[in-house]
Amino acid sequence: MIIVKKINNNVAMARDDRGNELVVFGKGIGFHETPYYLEDESTLQAVFSNINNGILSMVRTVPSEVIDAALQIIDMAKAELDCELNPNVVLTLADHLQFAVERLKDGCVIENPLSDTVEFVYPVEHGLGLRALAILKKETGFSMPRTEACSIAMHLVNYERADGRVDDMDEVMRTLSSIDEVTNIVEREFGITVDRASYNYARFTTHLRYLIKRLKADRASSDSNADLFARISHDFPDVSACADAIASYLEDRFGRACSEEERLYLMMYINRFLASR
């Protein structure tokens, strides 16, 4: 690969062996005098072949230190997440970080109402988001508010797909808001406050994520525990009513009814919350 033109210290225009124009990301890729031949392509962190004016405009306007912070954050995420990150995350994260820095300069801090939910549903990604704030401060000098860790975490979740596909951010947020509302239903039905830092809640939110994923994909679980479902429904009518309220909400939200098996698991988790009061 030939590095044709420096855009900044970490981004350059390149050309592959077939003559295709590329935009490449890599720490220090623009330090050398161009043009030059890049022998070790494993040093590249992202390569974009279908370049357009939008990509070029973004990489030319985002400061080098912000791009460097994005590259460090993605390197950190790749080392800790058990999956491949879609290469586009470098672009979107750098663009987002620059926008966040500009907002902070203008004194504008946007709170995310789902920050707490993100922290408990995606603890690994949220932890990476918190460490990313330290990287951003080191590279840019700006101390971002803690809520920004939530936004960075959601960028990682959005591009964290083993098959390389990317979920729509609106769908990710839809799942999070649904988990938040299901938790609210439990709290309203029993007049309790669910301990969102508990192990039970972590397991509950993981279960809900996969339940919602099945609902969106229209894949029902089997009703293999009909007798157990009937017995628990009879013995714990208030818990059964709460599970029905959750199932009704999810059906309105995603257009598919929960099976008895799925409602049984909801009742089991609700019972754990009540037992831990």
Distance CA 148, CA 130 (A): 8
> Is the per-residue pLDDT at 168 higher than 70?
no
Number of structural domains in the chain:
3
What rounded mean pLDDT belongs to the chain? 84
pTM for this model (two decimals): 0.66
Q: Is residue 76 part of a domain?
A: yes
Q: Is residue 193 part of a domain?
A: yes
pLDDT > 70: percent of the chain: 90
Q: Provide the CA 271 distance to its chain's centre, in angstroms.
A: 29
Any idea what the CATH number is for the domain that residue 253 is in?
Answer: 1.10.1790.10
Q: Is residue 228 part of a domain?
A: yes
Q: Is residue 34 part of a domain?
A: yes
Q: What is the pLDDT of residues 98-143, one digit of tens each?
A: 888 888 887 776 677 777 788 888 888 999 999 999 999 999 999 9
Q: Are residues 77 and 139 in the same domain?
A: yes
Q: Is residue 168 part of a domain?
A: no
Distance CA 113, CA 118 (A): 10
Q: Is residue 106 part of a domain?
A: yes
What is the pLDDT at residue 73?
93
Q: Are residues 154 and 93 in the same domain?
A: yes
Q: Is residue 31 part of a domain?
A: yes
Q: Are residues 47 and 68 in the same domain?
A: no
- CA-wise closest residue to 208 among 152, 263, 256: 263
Tell me the residue range of the domain where 133 lies.
Answer: 64-158
Q: Are residues 152 and 70 in the same domain?
A: yes
Q: Are residues 139 and 191 in the same domain?
A: no
Distance CA 152, CA 246 (A): 29
Q: Are residues 69 and 46 in the same domain?
A: no
Maximum separation of any 2 CA atoms in the chain, in Å? 76
Distance CA 134, CA 123 (A): 17
What is the pLDDT at residue 164?
43
Domain boundary among 107, 123, 158: 158
Domain boundary among 51, 72, 90: 51
What is the pLDDT at residue 163?
45
